[in-house]
Copies of this chain bind each other. A is one copy, B any other.
Amino acid sequence: MTNDAPLALHVPEPAVRPGGLPDFTNVRISTAGAVARPDVDADPESIRDLAYSIIRVLDRDGEAVGPWAGFLSDEELLEGLRHMMTLRAFDARMQMAQRQGKTSFYMQHMGEEAVSCAFRKALLPGDMNFPTYRQAGLLIVAGYPLVEMMCQIYSNEQDPLKGRQLPVLYSSKEHGFFSISGNLATQYIQAVGWAMASAIKNDTKIAIGWIGDGSTAESDFHAALVFASTYKAPVVLNIVNNQWAISTFQGIARGGSGTFAARGLGFGIPALRVDGNDYLAVYAVARWAVERARRNFGPTLIEHVTYRVGAHSSSDDPSAYRPRTESDTWPLGDPVIRLKNHLIVRGVWSEDRHKQAEAEVLDTVITAQKEAERHGTLHSGGKPSVRDMFEGVFAEMPPHLRRQRQQAGV
């Protein structure tokens, strides 16, 4: 024990950096269909291997296989494909609008579309998501109008949030979408609190928390797991592991544990890992966890394994910290292409119909964009009023704010 060899600090590093060849050989990927599907009331200890494997449904040939397959009809899958295509087209247009100076900031979902789009399908009206900035699919699937999303992004006169929020920090209670916070992770424990409230009121609604891989390091993540574990809150806690947190690879937040899902094991919370680029797998796992929560068996932690193909945000350029071609070699492929191929294999879709759908979707998005821009963009056209800046701090404006509004001359 009197070992005098000097200590040294260990700082984890990604396998490759710019200039190197992308390498994901260290990413262990389960075969599609290989992971068992336990009962929703299974003892967490008995299913701890689910925190280390990856639940996958679509195999290389585009077939849906194994116990997690078979929960969605062809019509539902076709609709799901369109949701993801819509989100992708929306992203492309808004990213461009940002470059054109029509707004200050944008964040896209490229590569992660399946996660929010498939998950949302497992929910019921009244359930509440506590999303991060990378789950706009929840809104699209819920039927929130694209025009309203864009008005928020443009901070224009029709912005439902009156210009107060950064672009993409949407809020729509009606669509089960909690107001996004610019502060990472804070909403995770709030989701647990919301779920506890539903249980306190003997309601039937559940809450869904969302967090990024990097953000699991924040304190709110711990608070959420502690409270969810103690009160068996009816909540599904999602971790979207897209491999990166701005420039920081997931190993910095994950540290010595094999997976993020493993974090749940220390709390007796069932933890599942799922192929986040597999629409069918995400849906099946969501459905399992949602049923668990709804039947009062308590929380579930889900790690969605995916990859952030685009930049972190419109302010970021990933080529400074990872090989440019890294996304091409990501072993779980592209969620849109994989679902498309599956539907083609099933004989209900074709390359041609896909092209046509792409055109239709783009058309829809562009139409919405034109409509939104009629109400203004950040620096031109209709704007939310300066008065709006002073409203809504409190339900009723207190005297000091009234004085300040007067000083501002509005």
The residue that A267 contacts in the complex, of B4, B44, B223, B256, with Cβ under 8 A, is: B256
Known: A5-B295, A221-B222. 7 other contacts (CB 8 A): A6-B203, A219-B219, A229-B257, A232-B256, A255-B268, A256-B269, A257-B267
- Indicate if the CB atoms of A7 and B222 lie closer than 8 Å: no
Q: How many of A's residues come within 8 Å of B, CB to CB?
A: 60
Give chain B nearest CB distance to A32 CB in angstroms: 24
**A70 CB-CB contact with B under 8 Å:** no
Which residue from chain B places its CB closest to the CB of A205 in the assembled complex?
B7
**Smallest beta-carbon distance A198→chain B, Å:** 6
Bound-state CA distance A230–B253 (Å) is: 7
**Do residues B9 and A200 form an inter-chain contact, with CB atoms below 8 A?**
yes
CA distance A256 to B124 in the complex (A): 27
Evaluate contact between A230 and B202: CB separation under 8 angstroms: no
Given known A44-B256, A217-B226, A229-B257, contact A7–B268 (CB-CB < 8 A): no
Of B10, B253, B264, which contacts A298 at CB under 8 A? B10
A10 pairs with B256, CB closer than 8 A: no
Give CA–CA (A233, B11) in the complex, Å. Answer: 10
Tell me which residues from 1 to 42 in chain A have a Cβ below 8 Å from any Cβ of chain B: 1-12
* Minimum CB distance partner of A256 in chain B: B268
| Interface of A toward B, CB cutoff 8 Å | 1-12, 44-45, 122, 124, 196, 198-200, 202-204, 206, 217, 219, 221-223, 226, 228-234, 251-258, 262-269, 287, 290-291, 294-296, 298
A204 to B1, CA, bound (A): 11
- Determine if A267 and B258 form an interchain contact, defined as CB atoms under 8 angstroms apart: no
B294 & A231 in contact (Cβ 8 Å cutoff): no
* CA distance in complex: A262, B264 (Å): 10
Q: List 11 A-B contacts (CB under 8 A).
A: A6-B203, A9-B199, A9-B233, A10-B232, A217-B222, A219-B222, A222-B222, A229-B255, A230-B256, A257-B268, A262-B268
Q: Report yes or no: B267 in contact with A7, Cβ–Cβ below 8 A.
A: no
* Chain B residues positioned under 8 Å from A203 (CB to CB): 6-7
A223 x B219 contact (CB < 8 A): yes
Residues of B close to A229: CB separation below 8 A: 255-257
Q: With A and B bound together, what is the CA distance between A202 and B251 in angstroms?
A: 23
Flag if A267 contacts B255 (CB, 8 Å). Answer: yes
Evaluate contact between A2 and B124: CB separation under 8 angstroms. yes
Name A264's closest neighbour in chain B (CB-CB): B266
Taking a contact as CB atoms under 8 Å apart, the answer to whether A296 and B217 are in contact is no
- Name which of A6, A9, A11, A202 has the most chain B CB atoms within 10 A of its CB: A9
